[in-house]
Amino acid sequence: MVELLAPAGDLEKLKIAVLYGANAVFIGGLRFSLRSRASNFTLDDIEEGAKFAHQHHAKVHVTCNIVMHEKDTNDIIEYLKALEQRGVDAIIASSVTILKLVIKHTKMEAHVSTQLSTLNSDAVNYFKSLGVHRVVLARELSLKEIEEIKKNSDVDLEVFIHGGMCVSYSGRCMLSNNMTNRDANRGGCAHSCRWNYDLYQDDKKINPKDDYFAMSSKDLCAIRFIPELLKLNVASFKIEGRMKSLHYIATVVKTYRTLIDDYEEGKLRDFSYYEEMISKAENRLTSTGFLNAPITTNEQLYDLNLALPSKDFVGIVLEYDKKTKMVTVEQRNYFIPHSTLEVFGAHHQMLISINEIYDEQKNSLDAARHPRQVVTFYSEIELEPYDLLRLN
Amino acid sequence: MNIVIDECIFLNQFKDKIRYIMVSRPFDKKKIADYIQNGFTPILNFYQLISPFEMEDVLNEINSYKSLDCLFYITDLGLVYRLKQEGLINKIIFDPITLITNSLDAKEYFNEGFRALGISNEILLEDAINIAKDIHGFYQIFGYRLMFHSKRRLVELYGNRLGQKLKDGIYILKEENREDRYPLIQNSYGTMIYRSYLINLLSELPSLNMEFCYLNSSFISSEIYARVIQIYLDALNGKDLSLALEEMNELNLNCSDGFTYQDSIYQKEDF
């Protein structure tokens, strides 16, 4: 069965990803990891995350995927061994040194990062000759090209199915570094490709006065390609976005989990069902990227302000007291008493009506207005920890 | 140290002074044969990231030149691996553009048997020199440096949006809040964007330990390029460096030292 691999920027997101259906999560440690704004994990966090994941039959992959400069290369073996001791299952790396050290000194799997822009089976076979277990393919490949690579290689392949797309070949972009001194290959990408540019040819400006040349790509959404990708028998479907919110991760993971399970059980619904489901997560506009190559204007994002609205995520259930039927919730967005909320959980989805809302001192509130405030309300229906609440 | 130059109309001027010429696609077999006859060693530039259905064509193209006294400049790891199996590894300069940034990785790749390995432009010169102690390095020391490569034909796509046909060629980008102008090339391999200034490591020439030092001619007139080559050759042949630098300054080129002395930021948090 294909692995559904989800991102997790912190421990809470890791747990949500696992509970909502991921077979594996990828996280960043404090060293050698891209995505500086993700709250990268300490070794203790990693141990707790791995324990939780393993209890739920999921795996933990740790990204060590920076393109190391000379001064970054100390203590790699020690760090890898520490990760192994904490229960990590696989290391994702772009450095051949790190990949070889993982293979030689640990029992963890070595996965080749997409930073190496692997675009053909010959490159996959090179990595196989090093002993790696899996190659994460470049996002520039069409479905037919992925099929061709699969036909000509026998290493596990991982393909991206959802999330942000670099407009350049991954690992080959120095825009951010040159324009802001923030090194995208070492976790500091300033997304300079998403800025506004004037385009000239022979000193003549091409873009109209009220418009800019934009390079940005729409995010990837492979919902309509999942059945065909499943037929290719690749090892893993990857969701991008270690910096995305908990609500985003829950929604995207559950959508793909449902879609994959429905397909496997022969109960595939119309794709619009899954698209509707995933649209509740906050998101930029999406397209099928290179899967349906060639790229057209439909895959490009020209108006950067066009982000799809999300259905408001207002809280996460911490516990449910079966005796008193009181739900304890950590607030994430404003909501008020006497309203209807959608419960979006790992195992159920429904509407509930709430009446009074109380704070921890049992004072009645006119609104749950403070971020992370712990509030309670009565519910006849039993809710579960990690259920998410949305405005209906 | 070998200076590598691009093809240019003043090439004959450098006969017997320079051995290696970077030759760009589309290749002209007769021209390549002439170069070899005139004592040059062409380096055939296969700057391309190769998708599965393109691989055999590229291999066939390379095979038609493999018996010649030439080298191949290659940026795709899969292509390199295929050529290794065909016994051509010692004719390859492998340049993954951004990825050779430390001596550990450089040694791992170089042990495959390459003629030389491209060292990243994103690192300190000190680190590049350190890396080159253990390998044969290929390093661009003059000209506009590439900073972005997309498979997408971004200009054409933008033209489609505007309802205009924007063809392959050279364009200029300017970010809305900056004065810098970034040369952009769109061709059949996608979109390439270059830095807004030239790199010029003439002052550093005595300390460079690279096997190949490349003078890139992109976006520079042939006349200026020929003068730059001569200045570098004079400096290599012992001309007083301050005089060489003076001559270079007279060309009024927009030069900057990039990351030569200032490392980029690792995981900046506050943005």
pLDDT band at B271 (very low <50, low <70, confident <90, very high): very low
Residue among B160, B166, B265 minimizing CB distance to A183: B265
Distance from CA of A113 to the nearest CA of B (A): 12
Q: In chain A, which residue's Cα lies nearest the Cα of B83? A: A122
Q: In chain B, which residue's Cα lies nearest the Cα of A165? A: B150
Q: Which pLDDT does position B269 carry in this prediction?
A: 36
Q: How many CB atoms lie within 10 A of CB B153?
A: 20
Burial bucket for residue A110 (CB in 10 Å: 0-12, 13-18, 19+): buried
CB neighbour burial string for B217-227, b if at least 16 within 10 angstroms, e if fewer: bbebeeeebbb
CB A95 within 8 A of CB A67: yes
| Residue A337, preceding peptide bond in cis (omega within 30° of 0) | no
CB neighbour burial string for A240-249, b if at least 16 within 10 angstroms, e if fewer: bbbebbbbbb
Rounded alpha-carbon distances, angstroms, from residue B143 to A268, B183, B197, B221: 56, 12, 8, 12
Query: pLDDT by residue for chain A (392 residues), tens digit each?
Result: 999 999 999 999 999 999 999 999 999 988 776 655 555 899 999 999 999 999 999 999 999 988 888 888 888 999 999 999 999 999 999 999 999 999 999 999 999 999 999 999 999 999 999 999 999 999 999 999 999 999 999 999 999 999 999 999 987 888 888 788 777 777 778 888 888 999 999 999 999 998 999 888 999 999 999 999 999 999 999 999 988 999 999 999 999 999 999 999 999 999 999 999 999 887 789 999 999 989 999 999 887 665 665 658 999 999 999 999 999 999 999 999 999 999 999 999 999 999 999 999 999 999 999 989 999 999 999 999 999 999 98
User: Model confidence over B140-189: pLDDT tens digits?
Assistant: 999 999 999 999 999 999 999 999 999 999 999 999 888 999 999 999 99
| B104 to A73: CB separation less than 8 angstroms, yes or no | yes
Q: How many helices (H) and strands (E) does chain B have?
A: 8, 11
Residue of B46, B119, B151 to mutate, interface with A, max A Cβ within 10 Å: B151
Q: How many CB atoms lie within 10 A of CB A234?
A: 22
* Mean pLDDT, all residues of chain B: 94
Which run of H or of E encompasses A249? helix A246-264
How large is the angle between the packed helices B77-85 and B55-63, nearest 10 degrees? 50
CB A318 within 8 A of CB A388: no
Q: How far apart are CA A46 and CA A42, in angstroms?
A: 6
Cβ contacts of A355-359, under 8 Å, gap ≥ 24: none
Strand partners, A239: A162
pLDDT band at B133 (very low <50, low <70, confident <90, very high): very high
Q: In chain B, which residue's Cα lies nearest the Cα of A150? A: B52
Which run of H or of E encompasses A251? helix A246-264
Closest to B88 measured CA to CA, from B107, B71, B109, B64: B71
| Residue B206, preceding peptide bond in cis (omega within 30° of 0) | no
B56 is written with which tokens? 């055999």
| B161 to A300: CB separation less than 8 angstroms, yes or no | yes
CB B49 within 8 A of CB B78: no
Cα end-to-end span (Å), chain A: 35
| A67 to B175: CB separation less than 8 angstroms, yes or no | no
Cβ neighbours of B258 in A, within 8 Å: 178
| B162 to A215: CB separation less than 8 angstroms, yes or no | no
Q: What is the dihedral of CA B76, B82, B83, B89, to 10 degrees?
A: 80
Q: Are strands B190-200 and B182-187 parallel, antiparallel or unpaired?
A: antiparallel
Q: In chain A, which residue's Cα lies nearest the Cα of B109? A: A96
The answer to whether B175 contacts chain A (CB < 8 Å) is: yes
The answer to whether B172 contacts chain A (CB < 8 Å) is: yes
Residue of B103, B134, B193 to mutate, interface with A, max A Cβ within 10 Å: B193
Closest to B135 measured CA to CA, from B151, B147, B117: B117
The answer to whether B102 contacts chain A (CB < 8 Å) is: yes
Based on its alpha-carbon atoms, the radius of gyration of chain B, rounded to whole angstroms, reads 19
Q: How far apart are CA B24 and CA B4, in angstroms?
A: 13
Q: How far apart are CA A206 and CA B159, in angstroms?
A: 9
Which run of H or of E encompasses B192? strand B190-200
Cα–chain-centroid distance for residue A297?
A: 25
Which strands, in side-by-side order, build the sheet including A364-365? A349-354, A339-344, A388-391, A313-321, A326-331, A374-378, A357-358, A364-365
Closest to A11 measured CA to CA, from A53, A58, A71: A53
Q: How far apart are CA B146 and CA B192, in angstroms?
A: 7
User: Model confidence over A351-372: pLDDT tens digits?
Assistant: 999 999 999 999 999 999 998 9
